[in-house]
C-alpha cells in the first residue's frame, strides 16, 4: 500500500523551541518516505498512574469508547502498569491493545521485582515499551540492557516500541541526530530486517516530556527523517520506509494534528494526556490531511 499527500491545511500549535535549537533545523520538503502507507499508531503511556484498579477500569473503558466508526484507521495501544493490564484488557473489549511498560530481559530466576516476557504474554500482551528516558535516567537502564530487552521481546514473538531521544543540552549542542543514532544502533543491535515489522520507534526529546514543551512539528519531522535515514543505513531504504516512528513529548489535542501532518511522523506516544479520556480520545481521533491514495 502506498500513500500520497493530497493537500495541506494550516494549523497552529503552541510549540516550544529551545534556545539555539532552531539553527539546526529547517522546514524540510516532504520526503519520498511519505509515499509509504504506514498505519498511524497512537499510544498512551500511563507510567505510575492511576492509583487504583477502579480508576484504571474507568479510564481504559472511557478511552475505548472514544474509538468509533468515524475514527481514523489507526492502531491504538495503552502501556499500563503490570497490575492493571488484565483489568484494562477486559475494559477495552478488543478496541485497542494493552501493552506493558517494560520487561526484564531474563526468563526466570533471582531477579526480584522483575517481570518476564512470558508472564505478560500469558495474560495477552503483545506490545512492550523499552528505552523510555525515565527508565534510562531514573532506573539506570543502559543501551546494552535496553538492547537485551528488545532482543528478548522480539525473540519471544512480541513487538517492541523502542524510545529514543536527546536531553535539552544535547539538543542545544546539535546532538539530537547523534544521540538518536547511538540509541537506535545500540538498541536494535541483532534485530533482523524481517523482524522490523514488530518494531516501532518513539522519538521523545527529553526536554519535551512532561514539560508542556512540544517540539515544533518541523523540529520533530526533521529528527524523524534523520531517524529514518539512520534505519536505512542500518538496514535498507525499504525497511526504513516501513518502520513507524512516533513522536512523544507533551502531545496534546492542540498539537496532535500538526504533528500528524508531518510526513515522517507516524503516531504519538502520549503520557500526561493519556490519563484524561477526553484528551486522549481527541488525540486518537486526530485530523490529518495526509490522505491515503492507493496506487
Ligand atoms: P508526556 O509523556 O506526554 O507527558 O510528555 C510522554 C512520555 O513520556 O511517553
In sequence order, the β-bridge partners of residue 270 are: 44
Task: Say if residue 138's pLDDT is above 70.
Answer: yes
Q: Does the C-beta of 209 come closer than 6 Å to ligand 1?
A: yes
Q: Which residue has the cell 526466570?
A: 108
Q: Which of 44, 128, 270 to mutate to test the pocket of ligand 1 (most atoms within 8 A of CB)?
A: 270
Rounded Cα gap, residues 51 and 84, in angstroms: 10
Q: Does the C-beta of 260 come closer than 6 Å to ligand 1?
A: no
* Cell (9 digits) for 93: 473489549
pLDDT at 152: 98
75-80 vs 41-45, strand pairing mode: parallel
Task: Say if residue 162's pLDDT is above 70.
Answer: yes
Task: Say if residue 25's pLDDT is above 80.
Answer: no
Rounded Cα gap, residues 180 and 247, in angstroms: 13
**pLDDT digits 0-9 by tens, 54-76:** 999 999 999 999 999 999 999 99
Which class for 64: exposed (0-12), middle (13-18), buried (19 or more C-beta within 10 A)? buried
Look at ligand 1, atom 9, and give the residue with the nearest C-alpha.
Answer: 271
Look at ligand 1, atom 2, and give the residue with the nearest C-alpha.
Answer: 271
Average pLDDT, rounded, for the chain: 88
Q: Which residue has the cell 505510575?
A: 48
Listed residue (63, 95, 61, 60) closest to 80, CA to CA = 60
- Atom of ligand 1 lying closest to residue 270 CA: 3
* Rounded distance from Cα 252 to ligand 1 centre (Å): 10
**Rounded (5°) CA angle 73-77-79:** 165
* Rounded distance from Cα 39 to ligand 1 centre (Å): 21
Q: Does the C-beta of 269 come closer than 6 Å to ligand 1?
A: yes
**pLDDT digits 0-9 by tens, 184-235:** 999 999 999 999 999 999 999 999 999 988 899 999 999 999 999 999 999 9
Q: What is the pTM of this model?
A: 0.88
At residue 203, φ and ψ (nearest 5 deg) are -85, 115
Rounded Cα gap, residues 79 and 125, in angstroms: 10
- CB-side exposure of 277: number of CA atoms within 13 Å? 14
* Rounded distance from Cα 232 to ligand 1 centre (Å): 27
Instruction: Kindly list the catalytic residues.
Output: 132, 204
SS (HEC) of the chain? CECCCCCCCCCCCCCCCCCCHHHHCCCCCCCHHHHECCCCEEEEECCCCCCCHHHHHHHHHHHHCCCCCCCCCCEEEEEECHHHHHHHHHHHCCCCEEEECCCCCCCCCCCCCCCCHHHHHCCCCCEEEECCHHHHHCCCCCHHHHHHHHHHHHHCCCEEEEEECCCHHHHHCCCHHHHHHHHHHHHCCCCCHHHHHHEEEEECCHHHCCCCCCCCHHHHHHHHHHHHHHHHHHCCHHHHHHCEEEEECCCCCCCHHHHHCCCCCCEEEECHHHHCHHHHHHHHCCCCCCCCCCC
Higher pLDDT, 3 or 140: 140
244-248 vs 97-100, strand pairing mode: unpaired
What is the band of 18 on the pLDDT scale with cuts at 50, 70, 90? very low
In sequence order, the β-bridge partners of residue 78 are: 44, 98
Listed residue (146, 208, 155) closest to 182, CA to CA = 146
* Rounded distance from Cα 118 to ligand 1 centre (Å): 27
Amino acid at each position: 500500500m502506498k500513500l500520497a499527500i493530497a493537500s495541506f491545511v494550516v494549523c497552529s500549535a503552541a510549540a516550544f523551541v529551545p534556545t539555539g535549537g532552531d539553527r539546526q533545523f529547517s522546514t524540510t520538503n516532504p520526503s519520498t518516505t511519505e509515499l509509504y502507507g504506514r498505519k498511524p499508531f497512537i499510544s498512551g503511556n500511563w507510567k505510575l498512574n492511576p492509583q487504583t484498579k477502579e480508576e484504571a477500569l474507568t479510564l481504559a473503558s472511557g478511552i475505548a469508547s472514544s474509538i468509533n466508526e468515524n475514527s481514523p484507521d489507526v492502531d491504538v495501544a495503552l502501556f499500563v502498569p503490570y497490575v492493571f493490564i488484565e483489568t484494562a484488557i477486559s475494559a477495552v473489549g478488543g478496541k485497542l491493545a494493552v501493552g506493558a511498560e517494560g520487561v526484564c530481559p531474563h526468563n526466570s530466576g533471582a531477579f526480584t521485582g522483575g517481570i518476564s516476557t512470558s508472564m505478560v504474554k500469558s495474560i495477552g500482551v503483545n506490545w512492550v515499551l523499552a528505552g523510555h528516558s525515565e527508565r534510562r535516567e531514573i532506573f539506570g537502564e543502559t543501551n546494552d540492557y535496553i538492547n537485551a530487552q528488545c532482543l528478548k521481546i522480539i525473540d519471544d514473538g512480541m513487538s517492541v516500541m523502542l524510545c529514543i531521544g536527546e536531553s535539552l543540552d544535547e539538543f542545544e549542542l546539535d546532538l539530537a541526530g547523534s544521540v538518536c543514532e547511538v540509541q537506535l544502533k545500540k538498541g536494535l543491535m541483532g534485530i533482523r530486517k524481517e523482524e522490523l515489522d514488530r518494531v516501532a520507534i518513539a522519538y521523545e526529546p527529553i526536554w519535551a516530556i512532561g514539560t508542556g514543551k512540544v517540539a515544533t512539528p518541523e523540529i520533530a519531522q526533521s529528527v524523524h527523517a534523520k531517524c529514518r535515514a539512520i534505519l536505512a543505513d542500518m538496514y535498507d531504504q525499504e525497511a526504513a520506509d516501513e518502520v513507524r516512528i512516533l513522536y512523544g513529548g507533551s502531545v496534546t489535542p492542540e498539537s496532535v494534528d500538526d504533528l500528524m501532518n508531518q510526513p515522517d511522523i507516524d503516531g504519538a506516544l502520549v503520557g500526561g494526556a493519556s490519563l484524561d479520556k477526553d484528551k486522549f480520545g481527541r488525540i486518537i481521533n486526530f485530523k490529518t490531511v495526509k490522505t491515503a491514495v492507493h496506487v
